[in-house]
Structure 1
């Protein structure tokens, strides 16, 4: 077994060497990947910075001559990702450890994000106490705040780096006893306000022989599901909660990007899609909501999360966008409409109850949906058990007809 350590050996050689020594003292091999551009390494790596630069489509000499830090970080990130993938495919990468400031955090986590979920990934970083989303993305990357800058060894940095090195040893040396069952896997999207629907649907699917993976529709959750579909890990989708598109359209903080709802259709796998939580756009604390939205209908979910009701106009746009996404699907696809409300807050007596806005959403979906997409309309809200049962029945039928369902 081997831990790949990614770092800038021209500026952080002492610290990287210390991490290497701690790991190797535990009987685990290391493979050092140098991504330093400024100068020669303090000691010889296993993969040189020149090799990384070439894997990134350039040369080390060119990066030094251009002296463009941003360009260099991007190129070395590409190269480190290519090197990490090659080492993983060759069976000589069991885990990845990175340490550094913003530059190497960007490079090393780019490499980590290129590796499959389940491969241990640990980043010691000065950036780990802030917004880590750009570094973690939709991958299982652990980040440890270095507390002090990674500049020389001292009583603090030795302890932090040693803890990270030993944590990595523990991850690669102790393979978890995780049972892997040969069952078709269904990806499901959930929000707090669609939880009852998802819980009931998950129980029904698992009783029929499926494994389920539930994704919290917080932007990264939707992106994680889309990437796992692309990797072939997910066999079918119950996309109950498409709320990330509301944030994408209106400008909320939990958007998943314009590619959301593409992967299942492109892969041709069965999918049943609904309109869960399209009644809301997400922001942080109430005072963080942009001034342009003053006067709108809000619901304080908790001190850190403020929800804003979508308007009829926004819902009409959402209906068109989602219909166009589903029309492009190459596999069996259904759209399920809960006519009694798309979330816990969108029922009579709750803050976001707005029949006009819901009608705009449903009418736009009906208008733009193509003939190849099955449409299910139920006179219940999304969290009624009968709604979960209907969408599970439809997806199960698609899965079995396509040969992707349970074999027993």
Structure 2
């Protein structure tokens, strides 16, 4: 018999009881077992939740009365978010829940985002929100496998439009719980960042070579959320090494682009002491939505439209020197070993001669600044080739193999058997 998944259903039962009870019924009808978590502060729900607001407060050694007196609704919900995150993490670790779903407007979403981040990857996490996918949500608040759905008609009470959304979400989280496959540490995992395969293509060589060596390779597409996922998993110490070769999100963030992974891009692997091999892939470009005007400050720069969603312009010499300094400052924070590969022949597909973003003077300025900015103990490896060349991948693999041989990177089971 198929296991009945235990679905933790979270919301403010004092104001959204009708919606939460409707979702509980839909979860049951889909084959799940709803477990209610109430995060109300002032009122009480007209039902008895399995985990009430007192349990949430107790998880951080306080009381609901103290939370209510903390200042205002913002401070109260921050404290509830802390308590709920601790409680839910403990419930999952004890095997008492299989998935998490929450509903809310800005307040409920704010709290639910913290809970989702507290749960490991592979545990289904779903937020029904009136601000789903909004730019109000900063990248660093988004769990790497978070699912969201826009809560149409979700302001006050049930209606057919609202039910259409809530029923889909309820079925989706049950289905996810039934089919979820949590990551298993069967092989040591290496992360690689890239920007598709047309702009940066080194993973076509690196992935099979690393797999031959007995490693699992996870590649992250650095269009904002890909870099965010890499950072979240690195902070959770999921990798034995990070090959961070696409840093465009760093340039995007510095230039105010919405295609951002957050302020801490290129920092979490270093903080965790994970060995890093880094290269400046695509940092000459700044992304923006194709369907919006080119930013005024970059309106005279070379332009490339990737598709109807994403376009890029290049920064000039001063902008590239600025990003070079930012990269070096981030690498200097690392507590583990770092090697930086500087390909002076180019850093993305379209910056080569004959391509639309070819600017050799600006590339030279970046390389010059990078040479002076990188400081020991970060290793600097300068090559004449392009980042998509065999010289680049050979250099990266040589550093990787040297670090494995010296014990800096954990060997795979295959390597241990042959040593």
Question: What TM-score comes out, normalization by structure 2 length?
Answer: 0.88
The reply on whether 1:236 has 2:236 as its aligned counterpart is no
Tell me if the contact between 2:271 and 2:335 (Cα under 8 Å) persists in the aligned partners. yes
Change (3 A) 1:331 1:65: closer
Change (3 A) 1:324 1:109: closer
- Post-superposition CA distance 1:78-124 (Å, at most 9, x none): 22212211211222121001123332222223211221111011222
Tell me if the contact between 1:77 and 1:110 (Cα under 8 Å) persists in the aligned partners. yes
Residue in structure 2 matched with residue 163 of structure 1 by the alignment: 168
3-state secondary structure, aligned to 1:196: coil
- Post-superposition CA distance 1:17-53 (Å, at most 9, x none): 1222333355543321111234221111122123324
1:28-47 matches, cutoff 5 A:
28-47=32-51
- Post-superposition CA distance 1:307-366 (Å, at most 9, x none): 121211122222222223334433332111111111011111112211221112111221
The reply on whether 1:314 has 2:315 as its aligned counterpart is no
Measure, in 1, the Cα distance between the counterparts of 2:136 and 2:208: 33
Moved over 6 A (4+): none
Superposed displacement of residue 222, structure 1: 1.9
Superposed displacement of residue 169, structure 1: 2.2
State which of 277, 282, 294 in structure 2 corresponds to 1:277.
282
Measure, in 1, the Cα distance between the counterparts of 2:332 and 2:185: 33
Residue in structure 2 matched with residue 354 of structure 1 by the alignment: 359
3-state secondary structure, aligned to 2:91: helix
Tell me if the contact between 2:237 and 2:274 (Cα under 8 Å) persists in the aligned partners. no
State which of 82, 89, 92 in structure 1 corresponds to 2:86.
82
Residue in structure 2 matched with residue 52 of structure 1 by the alignment: 56
Residue in structure 2 matched with residue 407 of structure 1 by the alignment: 413
Residue-pair matches, total = 407
The reply on whether 1:195 has 2:195 as its aligned counterpart is no
Residue in structure 1 matched with residue 417 of structure 2 by the alignment: none
State which of 122, 126, 137 in structure 1 corresponds to 2:126.
122
Residue in structure 1 matched with residue 108 of structure 2 by the alignment: 104
Change (3 A) 1:196 1:181: same
RMSD: 2.6
Measure, in 1, the Cα distance between the counterparts of 2:233 and 2:10: 25
Measure, in 2, the Cα distance between the counterparts of 1:255 and 1:155: 36
State which of 18, 21, 29 in structure 2 corresponds to 1:17.
21
3-state secondary structure, aligned to 2:331: helix
Change (3 A) 1:25 1:296: closer
The reply on whether 1:374 has 2:370 as its aligned counterpart is no
Tell me if the contact between 1:320 and 1:364 (Cα under 8 Å) persists in the aligned partners. yes
Is the deviation greater in 167-176 or in 81-90?
Answer: 167-176
Tell me if the contact between 2:116 and 2:143 (Cα under 8 Å) persists in the aligned partners. no
Change (3 A) 1:196 1:227: same
The answer for unaligned runs of 5 or more in structure 1 is none
Is the deviation greater in 205-214 or in 315-324?
Answer: 315-324
- Post-superposition CA distance 1:223-259 (Å, at most 9, x none): 3212212212111011111112212222222233342
Change (3 A) 1:19 1:287: closer
Question: What TM-score comes out, normalization by structure 1 length?
Answer: 0.90
Tell me if the contact between 2:14 and 2:44 (Cα under 8 Å) persists in the aligned partners. yes
Superposed displacement of residue 187, structure 1: 0.6
Is the deviation greater in 342-351 or in 158-167?
Answer: 158-167
Superposed displacement of residue 211, structure 1: 0.7
Is the deviation greater in 52-61 or in 220-229?
Answer: 52-61
Measure, in 2, the Cα distance between the counterparts of 1:42 and 1:361: 62
Superposed displacement of residue 11, structure 1: 1.2
Residue in structure 1 matched with residue 299 of structure 2 by the alignment: 294
Superposed displacement of residue 205, structure 1: 1.4
